A and B are shown apart, each in its own frame.
Chain A
Amino acid sequence: MCQDAIPSAVAAPAVASGMPDGAALHRRTIRDAVNELGIELAQDVPLWPPDVFAVVASVLQRSGTYRHAVTRWPPGEQEPDTWAKEMTELGEKWGSAWSRHGAAPPEVVRWWSVLQSAADLPVDELPSGTNVVEACLLLLAAADEACKGVGVVDDAARYDDFRMRALELLAGEPGPSSLCERVDKSRGIVLPKMHTPQSGLSVRSLSHNLAFCIPGEVTPRWDVAPAPLGKASLNLLLLPWPLEVVPSQFRPNKGHLSNMDEDAFRFFTCEAKARPAYDDRVAVLMTEAERLVGRVDALVFPELALHRGDAVRLARRFDKVVVGGEGSASDTETGDPGTNLAVIAVPTVNEVYRSEQHKHHRWRLDERQIGQYGLGSQLDPNRSWWEHIELPERQVRFWCLDGWLTFCVLICEDLARQEPVAPVVRAVGPNLVIALVMDGPQLGGRWTSRYATVLAEDPGSSVLALTSFGMVDLSRASGNPPSRVVALWKDGTGGAPREISLEPGAEGVILCLTQKDVKEWTADGRHDDYASGYLLLNGVHQVRPNGAERSG
């Protein structure tokens, strides 16, 4: 792959005047951008591909020059298929060079030297189409190809030293997971990636296997199940509980915000009703669900459906993955906030792996919603009511259960608010996003459907939103007839969102999800050979405690 025909970037001053007193401002150069990641540009190219990926993704993202990949590509008049094949081979060579503790392939060294020679160029003025941009794009593609299959748990025979090192790095402490060795996690994060956007153009369009994230206030963690599911389908038992929610569960509460204008704003909390443990009810439904579809892989509960500790106990008792919202009401006497978090519990023999993720945004109830849920006896509709929950460190937990199944959970508002979690979710493109909500009917025209559609289109995640039947039943939105729609499914391959009802007499719904391998393309013309797993909904079954199933 030669760059001879490509013009070299013209050296531009990295120092610009313009300050009133004539003082010069130092503009960010390529050297600065690379050094900011903790990599010394003057040194040899890092041998570990994710480090190089972080460097060039950062430069391309800051400069926007990745556009060149859809302007004039591939370089050197090569045939596109030949170029893509060469990049695949180069990626393999690079990976095996790392495993042998050898040297990076000569092409990688040469492209790195192009970057070194442009160290003083301002990043924001990198001319598109120069050899520097081309070198960045080539390094990005090669690093991406070297990292096929990193971060997922699948056939053990496919693991080599390279993939094992990737898993070790992802498990590293403290802070976020990252695949980088030399780029500190406070400067840049590289994560495994499941989907490449097939529309639009961003730096995410250029990689299949790696996602670059600028560290921010959301801490991404990557967890893998010890041994994969080993199945090509997933049966989820949705339990849209509680089946009854009443207005008296919502009550005003004092907080510790002395500067909050109480004429305009107040806090509310939602108290769970006293109830027996769910275990026996789950057991009954599980038996029926297994009679219907043979096996259940996971139980899913909505936001705040569970008490603290329920998810782990249920996962242990039933030996199933449990995804659910746990929480507690705020304290009336002390004014301390309550909690609202998503728990993912993955069982092993006799024990359970558990991750938790607190809700990022407080729910704000306004006059319209107070009317919709009939809460006027508890909450004054002339004020806005903020959910009184604590806001600890914001995390997003990605769980890989199999090579085709990496998922994350978002809690209600966190699906709707674009900041701060959406950029990380879009960068990774998990196969499945589960939104646990405390909301009215999950109708195709409502907000969950809109945001699910956004994620389904870019990056291509399938999205499941689940609320409780109690909230659906409580909801009487103006102009809408009573509804029983507790869940909404939107898959990443297109098609309309699908509403899922809880029929009379039923207490749960089984979703049968199947895997479909789809060929995805990067913007520079590389495909992934059908490595992208999409989840499709291929069965909906009502689960009644007394049997008598009807399929939907």
Chain B
Amino acid sequence: MGIDPREGTLLTVFALKLARGESGQNLMRTMTFKNEYVRDIARALAGETNVSEAARDEANRIRTWAHVPSL
């Protein structure tokens, strides 16, 4: 039935913080995503590879906008 948009807002913050040099591991510890798909996107942004293709594609879209360096 769709994802709570709060998760999307937090994901935006997550990506922006990554772009500013914060550690993905630290962010994964401090920011909580309830939705598994959104959590996968965050993990993909943080450089993890064992995520779904859709999550990786969405992470790439957000990475481009937020200027998150590719790992």
Contact = CB atoms under 8 A, between A and B. Distances in A.
Interface of A: 153, 156-157, 159, 161, 164, 167-168, 170-171, 173, 221-228, 230, 309, 312, 345-346, 348-355, 399
Top 7 A-B residue pairs of the complex, sorted by shortest distance between their CB atoms: A354-B2, A350-B54, A223-B5, A171-B9, A349-B58, A227-B65, A349-B57
Interface residues of B, number: 31
Nearest to A348: B58
Contacts of A164: 13, 16-17
Interface in B1-60: 1-13, 15-17, 19-20, 37, 41, 52, 54-55, 57-58
Contacts of A312: 1-2
7 contacts: A168-B10, A171-B6, A223-B9, A227-B62, A349-B61, A350-B37, A352-B3
B37 A354 contact: no
A354 B3 CA distance: 6
B61 A171 contact: no
A309 B52 CA distance: 24
A224 B4 CA distance: 11
Nearest to B54: A350
Contacts of B37: 350-351
Contacts of B58: 226, 348-351
Given A161-B20, A351-B58, A354-B2, 17 more contacts: A156-B16, A157-B67, A164-B16, A164-B17, A173-B6, A225-B8, A226-B11, A226-B12, A226-B15, A312-B1, A346-B8, A348-B8, A351-B37, A351-B54, A353-B7, A353-B8, A355-B5
Contacts of A349: 54-55, 57-58, 61
A333 to B, nearest CB: 25
A167 B3 contact: no
A415 to B, nearest CB: 23
A167 B67 contact: no
A173 B6 CA distance: 9
Contact of B8 (A156, A161, A223, A350): A223
Given A171-B10, A226-B8, A227-B12, A351 B62 contact: no
Contacts of A167: 9, 12-13, 16
Nearest to B2: A354
Contacts of B66: 156, 227
Nearest to B59: A349
Contact of A156 (B5, B10, B19): B19
B6 A223 contact: yes
B4 A353 contact: yes
A158 to B, nearest CB: 10
B41 to A, nearest CB: 8
Nearest to B37: A351
Given A227-B65, A351-B54, A171 B13 contact: yes
A166 to B, nearest CB: 9
Given A157-B67, A227-B66, A228-B65, A353 B12 contact: no
A325 to B, nearest CB: 16
A168 B19 contact: no
Contacts of B55: 349
Contacts of B12: 153, 167, 224, 226-227
Contacts of B11: 226
A188 to B, nearest CB: 21
A266 to B, nearest CB: 33
Contacts of B8: 223-226, 346, 348, 353
A230 B67 CA distance: 14
Nearest to A399: B5
Contacts of A309: 1
Contacts of A168: 10, 13
Contacts of A171: 6, 9-10, 13
A353 B5 contact: yes
A20 B34 CA distance: 58
A353 B44 CA distance: 19
A345 B4 CA distance: 10
A222 B8 CA distance: 11
A240 to B, nearest CB: 24
Nearest to A344: B5
A531 B58 CA distance: 30
A156 B67 contact: yes
Contacts of A225: 8
